[in-house]
A = this chain, B = another copy of it.
Amino acid sequence: MDRITSSLALYHAWVSSASRRVRFVLEEKELSYQGILVNLLAFEQHSPEYLALNPNGFVPTLVHDGQPVIESSVICEYLDEVHPSPSLRPAAPIARARMRVWAKWTDEVVIRAFQVANWNRMMAPTARTWSDEEVERRLKAVPVPDRREDWRRMAREPFSEAEIAHAVANIRRTLDRMEADLGRGPWLAGDTFSLADIHLSPYIVRLGEHEERGIRLADYPRCADWWGRLTSRPAFARARIEPVVFAA
């Protein structure tokens, strides 16, 4: 990893959905920042150097004037507090509460649903080749017990069909809720574009991977319209929120 040379630095990975949420905020605000790439395939996120900044071993981490800020949804609110213009949080407390409910739903339901639906394909092919010794060594480096268990699963006991079906149900439920909330205004928290819309974007961009499971954005007309408006924002392109490309 590179060293920090700027007062605003983001440790991130291009394919990390959480990193994409923060990049989207940085680009909406047109902030200049130093991007420091964390090589996830080399497990740099579990290196002592990175864990000193982020004890969970997750990307991204923002470092602002030498102070680390972790957790993408927290980083996004932090950036809106220290650089309030243009505002990405609604002014009305009730709309702000709706925005935060979407942040929580993304963090607690959506991330897990896409992880379970995708990790067997993305992570298991590498992890299952590890020897027992390598599994043990790698798991020791994973600081969060739940994530350690996820990696053990990838190495030796991939997610079951029942678990994947459960994850797909949660993806559908997310689209149902989005469709309902978009009946109240053009954006997820109501009248204005906000962090709520940003939080969902790196997951919605990946829906195409689940078409064979019958999930199609076109079946959710308000979501499809919202997606067209969101992806036409100049910041979306600059933040590089693209479908993940798997190596063959």
Residues of A within 8 A of B (CB): 55, 64, 67, 69-71, 73-75, 77-78, 81-82, 93-94, 96-97, 100-101, 104, 107-109, 144-146, 149, 166, 169-170, 173, 177
Contact = CB atoms under 8 A, between A and B. Distances in A.
Q: Kindly list the 5 A-B residue pairs having the minimum CB-CB distance in the complex, ordered from nearest.
A: A81-B93, A74-B100, A78-B97, A69-B97, A145-B169
Contact of A96 (B78, B93, B108, B173): B78
Given A69-B94, A77-B100, 19 more contacts: A55-B177, A67-B94, A69-B97, A71-B100, A73-B104, A74-B100, A74-B101, A77-B97, A78-B93, A78-B97, A81-B96, A82-B93, A107-B108, A109-B144, A144-B173, A145-B169, A146-B166, A146-B170, A149-B166
Given A82-B93, A177-B55, A104 B149 contact: no
Given A82-B93, A145-B166, A71 B173 contact: no
Number of copies: 2
**Most chain B CB inside 10 Å of its own CB: which residue of A96, A100, A109:** A100
Contacts of A93: 78, 81-82
B104 A74 contact: yes
Contacts of A109: 144, 146
Contacts of A100: 71, 73-74, 77
Contacts of A145: 166, 169-170, 173
B173 A104 contact: no
A108 B108 CA distance: 7
Contact of A104 (B69, B94, B107): B107
Contacts of A144: 109, 173
Nearest to A75: B97
A190 to B, nearest CB: 12
A112 to B, nearest CB: 8
A166 B100 CA distance: 29
Contacts of A67: 94
A215 to B, nearest CB: 15
A177 B22 CA distance: 25
A114 to B, nearest CB: 14
Contacts of A149: 166
A55 B176 CA distance: 12
A189 to B, nearest CB: 12
Contacts of A104: 71, 73-74, 107
